């Protein structure tokens, strides 16, 4: 009879389970443990900082596309195009962040349930959201993304991961730009809720 090691599990929103290490992405199985000069504690900390950002980016992408698809009002075309541009930018960051996790020896998102377990961006399932409210929600979501990316940047700095920190700087700038544009289009928007 062979001894088995008990690995703590977490139940995902979809009812499936994942080990805590799989959920957080470290340690990776030997076949996926990409060699790096980063120390194990650095890999763990950076992986645990980045994977929620990957989940948040997926969630924010879907929320932005949701609003893009379900927009109504007098400024439809302008908002529709702006939200599509924002969604494309957010989507482009996902692969970069996930591949950084893999490059340093961690593992990343595996499923929608994994995203749901890690995401901090709230979903929007309302049948109708007024354009001003869409902008308000996305402003908050992007501001929170910036705060979480700054925190991840600090983790990268602490562990001398300059490559990931560099990507985060670009993504922070992009999220701040999205916040700025959303803020400007929302000016006076509370009076234009249809």
Residue range 150-164, pLDDT digits in tens: 999 999 999 999 999
Q: Which domains does the chain have, with CATH numbers?
A: 9-191 (1.20.1260.10)
174-180's contacts with Cβ under 8 Å and 24+ in sequence apart are: 174/89, 174/93, 175/142, 175/143, 175/145, 175/146, 175/149, 176/142, 176/146, 178/86, 178/89, 178/138, 178/142, 179/139, 179/142, 179/143, 179/146
| Contact yes or no for 130/191 (Cβ under 8 A) | no
**What is the value of pTM for the model shown?**
0.88
Residue range 106-129, pLDDT digits in tens: 999 999 999 999 999 999 999 999
pLDDT band for position 87 (cuts 50, 70, 90): very high
Asked if residue 27 has a cis previous peptide bond (ω within 30° of 0), the answer is: yes
- Provide the H-helix boundaries in the chain: 20-24, 40-69, 76-103, 112-118, 131-158, 162-186
CA distances to 13, 34, 60, 91 from 26, in Å: 21, 12, 24, 24
When comparing pLDDT for 9 and 77, which is higher? 77
Instruction: State the pLDDT at residue 23.
Output: 81
């Amino acid at each position: 009879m062979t001894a088995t090691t008990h690995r703590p599990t977490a139940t995902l929103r979809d009812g499936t389970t994942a080990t805590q290490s799989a959920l957080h992405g470290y340690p990776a199985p030997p076949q996926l443990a990409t060699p790096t000069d980063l120390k194990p504690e650095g890999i763990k900390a950076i992986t645990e900082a980045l994977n929620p950002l990957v989940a948040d980016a997926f969630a924010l992408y879907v929320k932005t596309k949701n609003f893009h698809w379900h927009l109504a009002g007098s400024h439809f075309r302008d908002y529709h195009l702006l939200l599509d541009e924002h969604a494309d930018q957010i989507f482009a960051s996902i692969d970069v962040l996930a591949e950084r996790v893999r490059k340093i020896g961690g593992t990343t998102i595996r499923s929608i349930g994994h995203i749901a377990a890690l995401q901090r961006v709230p979903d929007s399932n309302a049948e109708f959201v007024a354009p001003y409210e869409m902008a308000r929600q996305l402003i908050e979501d992007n501001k929170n993304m910036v705060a979480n990316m700054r925190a991840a940047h600090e983790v990268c700095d602490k562990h001398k991961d300059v490559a990931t920190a560099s990507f985060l700087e670009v993504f922070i700038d992009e999220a701040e730009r999205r916040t700025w544009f959303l803020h400007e289009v929302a000016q006076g928007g509370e009076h234009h809720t249809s």
